[in-house]
A and B are shown apart, each in its own frame.
Chain A
Amino acid sequence: MGALDYLEDLDRSVFDSANQQDYAVRAQKGLSEALIRKISATKNEPEWMLEHRLKSLKQFNEMALPTWGVDLSVLNFDDIIYYAAPDEMKGYATKWEDVPDDIKKTFERLGIPEAERKVLAGTGAQYDSVNAYHKLKEEWESKGVIFEDMDQALKKFPDLVKQYFMKCVPFSDHKFAALHGAVWSGGTFLYVPKGVKVTAPLQAYFRMNAQSMGQFEHTLIIVEDGADAHYIEGCSAPKYGSTSLHAGCVEVYVKPNAKFRYSSVENWSQDTYNLNTKRAIVDADAIMEWVGGNLGSGVTMLYPCSILRGRGARADHLGVAFANKGQIQDTGAKVIHVGPNTTSTVLAKGISKGGGVSVYRGLLQINKGAKGAKSNVRCDALILDGDSRNDTYPEMKIYEDDVSIGHEASVGKISDEQLFYLRSRGLSEDEALAMIVNGFIDPIVRALPLEYAVEMNRLIEMEMEGAIG
């Protein structure tokens, strides 16, 4: 069986089906100080983490919902399970054989083992709140690369975690950052030491399983001076009738001369509110690349952010958002130029179909002192039918005169001429549409590793099925 064979059986229902689970430590619905203390005690956390959680809870209760973007007032914070762990999970397993069968089955359906064995250097997959499986090839471990479950990392490397934890995205940032600070659980910790170049991509796959539960995984990535790494995150949640909330947090520190690429394909089920915060601090002459695809979830509000702190730092943002029936994909990129001679490029592609709404909401800020900053932002949209819509709100705040900025956007539809041409070559209308859409997002898919690119194309094709009539 080849590495990509699982894709042939890939079926949307895989992502939308739930396994029967007993939740041993499953917490009650709603948020309270007692719950926070319980989470912290269950995980045996150090005192400072509990304090941080409580401070965040206080902040969460004091803060109002954001007044811009998608209306979030329908979210009922009392009706969400904030922490759950399958009872059969004890800590985490380093060998595939140790993972319980039931969970293995789910991952096998998602194609994780093949991907891990054939292509990837290590895998951390979050199954609900406790990592089911975590492994890093010995080669990288011997060079000092740490690729851990976040809870384990807190136990094994408390000082390192304390130094960086929620320093890039402070809990006071917004209401959902505060919520995350209070109830975060699991996630990935990646540390790449000075000068180490990890050539194969590192992968983690997140999946929500319990009904009405939130997923608040924390991803903390530190890439030291001159190091190089590529991390891939995939997300899918089973489909359920009541609202799930995902408020994860990704913090990335790219040290001088380092290079880091963060790729993610997010495919949550349609009832999920995906309110993720992703941010990177980029030091001198370092490069940060964000590659993202947003396909699932009911409401997505996701704006990966790069803060270009050091001289000559660079950020590249590539993103695709596909909004199908009943979906709002409110995504974009934020780049803040702080250091001189920093450069950034943003390429965003939005596709709307069947009444879906895709929104590009971006920020480009050039701070005073960011002399010689250069930025180019391009966002394109494709609207596939009359019911769908696309909005573009690229905000630019320029507080330095020695800069060079360009922004362009265009919105279009598939012309009858294009379709007619492809049909005259013997393609069906569905196939022709899928081909045009795949061509439209090609620049972004190309930046993904092969098996993700194939999966992304497959997912787009599935979304496109029945596009006509």
Chain B
Amino acid sequence: MLKQFEKKVVKNGDVFVMGAQPFLELEIEEGAEVIVMDDFGINTGVPSREILIEIGKGANVKWTGYQHHADEVTSCDQKKFFLKEGARLNLYQNILGGGNSLDEITVELKGRGSEVFSQIVFFGHGKQNQTMRVNHVHMGENTKSNMISKGAVMNESHGKVLGYIRMEPGCSGADGNLTEHNLLLSSGAKIDAVPGLEIGHDDVAASHAAYMERVDDERLFYLASRGIPEDDAVQLIMEGFFLDAIQNMKSPELEARIFQQILTYL
């Protein structure tokens, strides 16, 4: 089947709501300030997508994504962003659904001085198998990227988080950072983490870090000594773990939906 890409142009001041197109090309106009809301899941009826997004010179995009497929769905979502000179992307991707899912985000920082901040929040429950891959590719000079992932897994779910920073030759002055925070909530859950760096240029700075945490007995004991039962305590610790990331989005409506969804799993 030939891929039929539908094309859309987003203008300054728009709040663009993503539809159910499996193949979509978005063009964000030069200098535009836009918000894209991407609600991808049970409501869309499409399990797989391929989306190409071109962000024009000096444009500023805030992207809030929420993947909430049903538990039996196998899904594949690929998004590719191309940033022109001085463009800026703030990307918040929240992944809660899918039985077997791949969510891949590639950001090519082509233009000089373009910047990206990506934040991945994921929560695995039941027997979910979730793969998140983020590639930040520095091509232009003085480009900046920052990726933070926060993920928790419980029951027998398996979360794989693959974050890559790639520095292409010629991206002088580029700066890339990547941090992966993971929380293991049950003994049957699994985490694979690969924080990768591919550095092909010398005049750059890059760093990455990954951490694994658990809800330790000490914290539970402390909360129990304050009269908080274990179930509530785990919920409190979870909220604490995700709170700053979720509040970062500055989108109270989505924030509430995500927390509510997580609570139904606990």
A-side interface residues toward B, CB under 8 Å? 368, 381, 383-386, 388-413
Q: Mark B47-91, 1 if CB is under 8 A from A, else 0.
A: 000000000000000000000000000000000000000000000
Say whether A393 contacts B196, CB under 8 Å: yes
> With A383-B199, A411-B199, A413-B202 given, is the CB distance from A398 to B207 under 8 Å?
no
Say whether A397 contacts B190, CB under 8 Å: yes
In the complex, chain B residues whose CB is within 8 Å of the CB of A405: 210-212
B263 at the interface (CB under 8 A from A): no
Say whether A384 contacts B202, CB under 8 Å: yes
Cross-interface CB contact of B199 among A385, A390, A394, cutoff 8 Å: A390
Say whether A381 contacts B195, CB under 8 Å: no
Give me 19 A-to-B residue pairs in the complex whose CB atoms sit less than 8 angstroms apart, sorted by A's number: A386-B203, A389-B199, A390-B197, A392-B198, A392-B208, A397-B192, A398-B184, A401-B189, A401-B214, A402-B216, A406-B209, A406-B210, A408-B208, A409-B195, A409-B209, A410-B205, A410-B207, A411-B204, A413-B202
In addition to A395-B194, A396-B194, 9 A-B residue pairs with Cβ atoms within 8 Å of each other are A386-B203, A401-B184, A401-B214, A403-B212, A405-B210, A405-B211, A406-B211, A410-B205, A410-B206
Say whether B207 contacts A396, CB under 8 Å: no
Say whether A398 contacts B194, CB under 8 Å: no
The 3 A-B pairs at the shortest CB distance, nearest first, are namely: A401-B184, A405-B212, A392-B197
In the complex, chain A residues whose CB is within 8 Å of the CB of B26: none
In the complex, chain B residues whose CB is within 8 Å of the CB of A384: 202
* Secondary structure dominating the interface of A: strand
Q: Mark B208-237, 1 if CB is under 8 A from A, else 0.
A: 111111101000000000000000000000
Say whether B169 contacts A386, CB under 8 Å: yes
Closest B residue, CB atoms, query A368: B187
> With A396-B210, A404-B212 given, is the CB distance from A386 to B187 under 8 Å?
no
Q: How many B residues touch A, CB cutoff 8 Å?
A: 33
Q: How far is the CB of A1 from chain B (nearest CB, A)?
A: 42
> Of residues A396, A401, A410, A413, which shows the largest number of chain B Cβ atoms within 10 Å of its Cβ?
A401
B182 at the interface (CB under 8 A from A): yes
B135 at the interface (CB under 8 A from A): no
Say whether A394 contacts B195, CB under 8 Å: yes
Q: How far is the CB of A339 from chain B (nearest CB, A)?
A: 16
Say whether B209 contacts A408, CB under 8 Å: yes
CA distance A410 to B209 in the complex (A): 9
In the complex, chain B residues whose CB is within 8 Å of the CB of A403: 184, 212, 214
Q: How far is the CB of A429 from chain B (nearest CB, A)?
A: 16
Cross-interface CB contact of A394 among B191, B194, B202, B203, cutoff 8 Å: B194
Q: Mark B23-51, 1 if CB is under 8 A from A, else 0.
A: 00000000000000000000000000000
B186 at the interface (CB under 8 A from A): yes
CA distance A390 to B196 in the complex (A): 11
CA distance A389 to B165 in the complex (A): 13
In the complex, chain A residues whose CB is within 8 Å of the CB of B148: none
Q: How far is the CB of A350 from chain B (nearest CB, A)?
A: 10
